[in-house]
């Protein structure tokens, strides 16, 4: 088990109980556990193989503790990560404010890590529009500004979950292929923008 | 890189830079303060000679090995390991400067090789191991008594003694050390393992050998340089295996694990908690810090583990054992395996307590709690050692890497821990830290079934003592009351008496003694002069 090869490290960031673990659980085991409090589902580390254009990519998905008391340590978590999925709860404005904190951290300390912003619990919003506290277009503007990919998912219905991780894997393959070729020249920033400027969710 | 610029910034007096021999050229610390020319004169000649002797020895040993190997294993498969055992010998006497004696020593012993032929496969490795052990002994003894470059005569004596020992074929057990036995075993396993890689395996072995020699010469240099050098070595070897030898990726992983095991078993002693760093100081700081935090309860950390469940408390104990065991391992990967084992126990404990799989929000606090409970020895050194010398691909991405990162987080949390992170008030926190109060005292009744019997006894005793002191206090109060009662009683009696005395004053009748004396017979009166008689004076 410990000898398992992992190609890319993907960290899940986000405030407590926004549904990071549910998202992973949904993606890996295709299930959603119902309960009064959904804070704790799934394992903290998952290695998942994804097929991208005939090539097998293994994502190591790292769940992180979202509590504010561990905020100071979050830097240790995302060190060397190829991608970060920053989650927020569509029905909780404060959780989106925390997204900005992690995005800042990532931009400052882990510039090679691509950022995916993920609004969770979209099923709740669909059932009752008044539940929505974070406007999609506001977030889209923000995502464009920081050149991040944005999507809204539901771990309950599975909406956009597989697409999100597929995209992470595809970007990793495209990007790392490019990196191998151009490594002597250094990192080409333009190529990064091209890779991260399109979205998988259409609203 | 930053290291170089730091060095540049150091200013040294001009005279300190000059050659120690006073030839006027600049000296270099790497040449012990001599200039290149004088250094060469002083040492290089001797070294050159030694290197040449090393090579002669190596070649001779290789020939011997070839012969021994060919006769013991037949021609087939022998090719791959030709150079391997030779290296064993060479490595083992790298420190033994007086090579000629060792050479003789080996020559003597190797004569017995052909006799061992019938034993075939098993016979040979034992032989090699024995020889290396003796060489180790020699090396140690030399190190103890004499500076390596002045060895000549005493080494001869030792050599004779050792040869006697060798001929008796019973090396003194007191001299064979655990360390070299384990190193032997690891090298043997490594060689066996590499045989399955054929030519690539041979190449890997050669690379490892070169690497170890280089490290050996670099021993004095900065630990970060050694770490970088090791990481480069991992990277290059893995690349070469994959690109040049076309080894499939999973086999590369396997080989890299074995390479790490092989080289780190040998380097451990030199690079674990080296004196050039302040690792040891940090170890002590962390240890003290954890001791000071002994009062932290699972509730404060929001640990979702209920130790009242016997199964769970078993797992907690196992997790603690695992994390403590980490210090006893020598290979970074084994250390990581201990962390992973500990983490798995934690996950199980959480799952049983909460009846659902755990997330990072549960895991991290529990790990922190386990680290606080375990206070693992040399925590910082182990973390540093793994960071410096573990194969980076494993550390950065895989499952082991995940748990390792969590452990680093746990330590960082413990170091920074304050009142806020435990949801306590500043005042409470400082009181707990200074030992003035203990949060555990408030819930003495809730004792887990698994709590150490000694602690239980202690708390029972404490209870008894507090009862006793309570009773004593009662007695003291009683005694005081009694005393007061007594005093009151005395006063009351006095008062009553006075009252009565006042009410019925005592009339003392006048003394009638004077009258009585007139009537009584008075003997003394007899002695009185007779009463005065009236006398008439003429006048």
Residue A155 burial (C-beta neighbours within 10 Å; 0-12, 13-18, 19+) = buried
The least confident of B247-256, B351-360, B364-373, B485-494 is: B351-360
B409 contacts A73? CB cut-off 8 A: yes
pLDDT at B371: 95
CA–CA–CA angle B421, B422, B428 (5° rounding): 120
The encoded tokens of residue B63 equal 């020939």
Residue A72 in contact with partner chain B when CB distance is under 8 A: yes
Could you report the per-residue pLDDT of A124-174, keeping only the tens digit for each?
998 888 889 988 999 999 999 999 999 999 988 988 999 999 999 999 988
Phi, psi of A105 (to 5 degrees): -60, -50
Q: Report how far apart, in Å, the C-alpha atoms of B295 and of each of A175, B64, B227, B233, B374 are.
A: 49, 64, 38, 45, 13
Instruction: Determine the Cα–Cα distance for residues A4 and A169; give it in Å rounded to an integer.
Output: 18
pLDDT at B269: 86
Instruction: Determine the Cα–Cα distance for residues B96 and B143; give it in Å rounded to an integer.
Output: 9
Q: Which residues contact B72 (CB under 8 A, 6 or more apart)?
A: B116, B117, B119, B120, B121, B123, B124
pLDDT at B449: 58
Q: What DSSP letter does each residue of B354-370 carry, written as one string?
A: HSS---HHHHHHHHHHH
- Residue B1 C-alpha, separation from nearest chain A C-alpha, in angstroms: 18
Taking one residue from A and the other from B, the number of pairs with CB-CB distance under 8 angstroms is 108
pLDDT at B288: 93
pLDDT confidence band for B368 (50 / 70 / 90): very high
Residue B309 burial (C-beta neighbours within 10 Å; 0-12, 13-18, 19+) = middle
pLDDT at A76: 86
pLDDT at A186: 46
Instruction: Determine the Cα–Cα distance for residues B214 and B229; give it in Å rounded to an integer.
Output: 10
A80 contacts B360? CB cut-off 8 A: no
Residues of B in contact with A33 (CB under 8 A): 356
Residue A64 in contact with partner chain B when CB distance is under 8 A: yes
Chain A (7-26) residues lying within 8 Å, Cβ to Cβ, of chain B: 7-9, 16, 20-21, 25
Instruction: Determine the Cα–Cα distance for residues A164 and A149; give it in Å rounded to an integer.
Output: 9
Average pLDDT, chain B: 75
pLDDT at B289: 93
Say if residues B10 and B4 touch (Cβ distance below 8 Å): no
Residues of A in contact with B398 (CB under 8 A): 2, 4-6, 47, 60
Residue A94 burial (C-beta neighbours within 10 Å; 0-12, 13-18, 19+) = exposed
A40 or B475: which leads in pLDDT: B475
Q: Which residues contact A154 (CB under 8 A, 6 or more apart)?
A: A120, A121, A122, A123, A124, A126, A160, A161
Q: What is the mean pLDDT of residues B325-353?
A: 91
Residue A80 in contact with partner chain B when CB distance is under 8 A: yes
| Chain A residue closest in CA terms to B418 | A69
The least confident of A152-161, B253-262, B274-283, B389-398 is: B389-398
Residue B231 in contact with partner chain A when CB distance is under 8 A: no
Residue A33 in contact with partner chain B when CB distance is under 8 A: yes
Residue among B359, B411, B424 with most chain A CBs within 10 A, to mutate = B359
What is residue B520's DSSP assignment?
A: S
The encoded tokens of residue B307 equal 């130790």
Q: What is the largest CA-CA distance in chain B?
A: 185
pLDDT confidence band for A120 (50 / 70 / 90): very high
Average pLDDT, chain A: 80
pLDDT at A89: 93
Residue A52 in contact with partner chain B when CB distance is under 8 A: no
**In this complex, which of A3, A35, A77 lies closest to B409 when CB atoms are compared?**
A77
Reply yes or no on whether the pLDDT at B29 is more than 90.
no
What is residue B176's DSSP assignment?
A: -
The encoded tokens of residue B239 equal 């690349």
What is residue B327's DSSP assignment?
A: G
**In this complex, which of B360, B364, B398 lies closest to A2 when CB atoms are compared?**
B398
**In this complex, which of B254, B257, B359 lies closest to A21 when CB atoms are compared?**
B359
Instruction: Determine the Cα–Cα distance for residues B414 and B421; give it in Å rounded to an integer.
Output: 10
Residue B247: half-sphere exposure toward Cβ, Cα within 13 Å: 24
pLDDT at A118: 94
pLDDT confidence band for B106 (50 / 70 / 90): very low
Instruction: Determine the Cα–Cα distance for residues A165 and A12; give it in Å rounded to an integer.
Output: 11
A69 or B142: which leads in pLDDT: A69
What is the reported pTM?
0.61
Closest alpha carbon to B65 in B92, B96, B89: B89
Could you report the per-residue pLDDT of B41-84, keeping only the tens digit for each?
777 677 777 778 777 877 787 777 777 666 655 444 444 444 44
Residue B355 in contact with partner chain A when CB distance is under 8 A: no
The encoded tokens of residue B52 equal 């040449």
Instruction: Determine the Cα–Cα distance for residues B104 and B57; give it in Å rounded to an integer.
Output: 10
B47 or A21: which leads in pLDDT: A21
Residues of A in contact with B256 (CB under 8 A): none
Q: Which residues contact B335 (CB under 8 A, 6 or more apart)?
A: B326, B329, B382, B385, B386
The three state secondary structure string of chain A is: CCCCCCCEEEEEEECCCCCHHHHHHHHHHCCCCCCCCCCCCCCCEEEEEEEECCEEEEEEEEECCCCHHHHHHHHHHHCCCCEEEEEEECCCHHHHHHHHHHHHHHHHHCCCCEEEEEEECHHHHHHCHHHCCCCHHHHHHHHHHCCCEEEECCCCCCCCHHHHHHHHHHHHHHHHHHHHHHHHHCCCHHHHHHHHCCCCCCC
| Chain A residue closest in CA terms to B341 | A2
Instruction: Determine the Cα–Cα distance for residues B182 and B196; give it in Å rounded to an integer.
Output: 22
Closest alpha carbon to B388 in B253, B225, B261: B225
Which strands make up the sheet holding A45-52, listed edge to edge?
Answer: A45-52, A55-63, A8-14, A83-89, A114-120, A149-152
Q: What DSSP letter does each residue of B260-275 carry, written as one string?
A: HHHHHHHHHHHHSS-T
pLDDT at B133: 54
Q: What is the mean pLDDT of residues B462-484?
A: 95
The β-bridge relationship of strands A45-52 and A55-63 is antiparallel
Instruction: Determine the Cα–Cα distance for residues A170 and B435; give it in Å rounded to an integer.
Output: 56
Say if residues B99 and B159 touch (Cβ distance below 8 Å): no
Residues of A in contact with B304 (CB under 8 A): 40
Q: Report how far apart, in Å, the C-alpha atoms of B123 and of each of B82, B129, B179, B240 are.
A: 17, 10, 22, 34
- Residue B202 C-alpha, separation from nearest chain A C-alpha, in angstroms: 23
Reply yes or no on whether the pLDDT at B491 is more than 90.
yes
Reply yes or no on whether the pLDDT at B162 is more than 70.
no
Instruction: Determine the Cα–Cα distance for residues B317 and A112; give it in Å rounded to an integer.
Output: 40
- Angle at which helices B360-374 and B399-416 pack, to 10 degrees? 60
Q: Hey, is B143 helix, strand or coil?
A: helix
B347 contacts A44? CB cut-off 8 A: yes
Residue B405 in contact with partner chain A when CB distance is under 8 A: yes
Closest alpha carbon to A125 in A153, A151, A85: A153
Q: Which residues contact B1 (CB under 8 A, 6 or more apart)?
A: none
Say if residues B399 and A60 touch (Cβ distance below 8 Å): yes
What is residue B510's DSSP assignment?
A: P
Say if residues B284 and B355 touch (Cβ distance below 8 Å): no
Instruction: Determine the Cα–Cα distance for residues B248 and A149; give it in Å rounded to an integer.
Output: 35
Residues of B in contact with A5 (CB under 8 A): 249-250, 253, 398
- Residue A62 C-alpha, separation from nearest chain B C-alpha, in angstroms: 7
pLDDT at B391: 85
Could you report the per-residue pLDDT of B272-327, keeping only the tens digit for each?
888 888 888 999 999 999 999 988 888 888 888 888 888 899 999 999 999 999 99
Closest alpha carbon to B331 in B277, B410, B284, B400: B400
Instruction: Determine the Cα–Cα distance for residues B441 and B459; give it in Å rounded to an integer.
Output: 10
pLDDT at B467: 94
pLDDT at B513: 58
pLDDT at B385: 92
Residues of B in contact with A20 (CB under 8 A): 359-360
Residue among A3, A49, A57 with most chain B CBs within 10 A, to mutate = A3
B408 contacts A62? CB cut-off 8 A: no
**In this complex, which of A1, A25, A69 lies closest to B421 when CB atoms are compared?**
A69
Q: Report how far apart, in Å, the C-alpha atoms of B228 and of each of B4, B121, B232, B278, B408 are.
A: 14, 39, 6, 18, 21
Say if residues A152 and A118 touch (Cβ distance below 8 Å): yes
pLDDT confidence band for B517 (50 / 70 / 90): low
| Chain A residue closest in CA terms to B416 | A72
The least confident of A150-154, A181-185, B133-137, B291-295 is: A181-185
């Amino acid at each position: 088990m410990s000898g398992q090869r992992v190609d890319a490290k993907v960290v899940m960031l986000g405030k407590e109980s926004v549904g990071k673990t549910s998202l992973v659980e949904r993606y890996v085991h295709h299930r959603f556990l119902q309960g009064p409090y959904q804070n704790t589902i799934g394992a903290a580390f998952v290695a998942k193989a994804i097929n991208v254009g005939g090539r097998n990519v293994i994502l190591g998905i790292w769940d992180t503790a979202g509590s504010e008391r561990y905020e100071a340590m979050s830097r240790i978590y995302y060190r060397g990560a190829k991608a970060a999925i920053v989650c927020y709860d569509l029905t909780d404005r404060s959780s989106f404010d925390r997204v900005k904190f992690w995005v800042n951290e990532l931009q400052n300390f882990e510039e090679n890590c691509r950022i995916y912003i993920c609004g969770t619990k979209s099923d709740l919003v669909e059932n009752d529009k008044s539940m929505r506290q974070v406007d999609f277009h506001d977030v889209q503007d923000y995502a464009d500004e920081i050149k991040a990919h944005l999507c809204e998912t539901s771990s309950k219905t599975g909406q956009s979950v597989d697409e999100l991780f597929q995209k992470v894997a595809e970007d990793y393959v495209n990007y790392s292929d490019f990196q191998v070729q151009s490594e002597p020249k250094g990192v080409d920033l333009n190529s990064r923008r091209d890779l991260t400027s399109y979205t998988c969710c259409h609203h | 890189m930053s290291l170089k610029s730091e060095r540049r910034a150091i200013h040294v007096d001009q005279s300190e830079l000059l050659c120690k021999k006073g030839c006027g050229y600049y000296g270099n610390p790497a040449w012990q303060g001599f200039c290149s020319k004088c250094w060469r004169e002083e040492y290089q000649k001797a070294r050159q000679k030694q290197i040449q002797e090393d090579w002669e020895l190596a070649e001779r040993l290789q020939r011997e090995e070839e012969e021994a190997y060919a006769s013991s294993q037949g021609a087939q498969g022998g090719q791959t390991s030709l150079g391997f055992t030779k290296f064993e010998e060479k490595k083992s006497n790298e420190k033994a400067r007086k090579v000629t004696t060792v050479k003789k020593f080996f020559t003597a012993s190797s004569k017995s090789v052909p006799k061992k032929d019938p034993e075939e496969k098993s016979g040979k490795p034992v032989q090699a191991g024995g020889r290396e052990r003796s060489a180790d002994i020699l090396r140690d003894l030399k190190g103890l008594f004499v500076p390596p470059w002045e060895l000549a005569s005493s080494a001869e004596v030792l050599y004779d003694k050792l040869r006697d020992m060798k001929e008796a074929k019973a090396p003194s057990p007191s001299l064979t050390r655990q360390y070299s036995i384990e190193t032997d075993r690891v090298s043997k396993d490594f060689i066996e393992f590499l045989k399955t890689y054929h030519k690539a395996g041979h190449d890997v072995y050669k690379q490892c050998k070169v690497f170890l020699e280089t490290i050996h010469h670099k021993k004095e240099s900065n630990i970060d340089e050694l770490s970088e050098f090791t990481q480069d070595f991992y990277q290059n070897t893995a690349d070469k295996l994959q690109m040049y030898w076309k080894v499939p990726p999973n086999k590369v992983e396997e080989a890299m694990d074995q390479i790490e095991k092989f080289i780190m078993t040998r380097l451990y002693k030199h690079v674990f908690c080296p004196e050039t760093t302040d690792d040891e100081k940090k170890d002590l700081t962390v240890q003290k810090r954890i001791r000071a935090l002994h009062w932290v309860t699972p509730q404060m950390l929001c640990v979702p583990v209920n130790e009242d469940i016997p199964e769970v408390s078993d797992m907690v104990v196992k997790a603690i054992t695992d994390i403590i065991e980490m210090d006893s391992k020598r290979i970074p990967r084994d250390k990581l395996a201990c962390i992973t084992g500990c983490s798995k126990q934690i996950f199980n404990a959480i799952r049983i307590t909460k009846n659902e799989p755990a997330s990072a929000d549960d895991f991290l606090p529990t790990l922190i709690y386990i680290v606080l409970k375990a206070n693992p020895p040399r925590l910082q050194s182990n973390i540093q050692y793994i960071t410096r010398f573990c194969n980076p691909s494993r550390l950065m991405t895989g499952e082991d890497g995940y748990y390792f990162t969590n452990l680093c987080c746990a330590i960082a949390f413990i170091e920074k821990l304050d009142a806020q992170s435990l949801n306590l008030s500043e005042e409470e926190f400082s009181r707990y830290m200074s030992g003035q109060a203990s949060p555990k005292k408030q819930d003495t009744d809730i004792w887990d079934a698994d709590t150490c019997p000694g602690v239980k006894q202690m708390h029972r005793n404490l209870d008894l003592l507090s009862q006793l002191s309570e009773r004593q206090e009662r007695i003291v109060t009683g005694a005081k009351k009694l005393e007061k009662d007594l005093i009151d009683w005395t006063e009351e009696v006095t008062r009553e008496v006075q009252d009565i005395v006042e009410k019925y004053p005592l009339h003392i009748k006048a003394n009638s003694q004077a009258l009585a004396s007139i009537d009584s017979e008075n003997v003394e009166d007899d002695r009185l002069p007779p009463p005065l008689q009236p006398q008439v004076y003429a006048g």
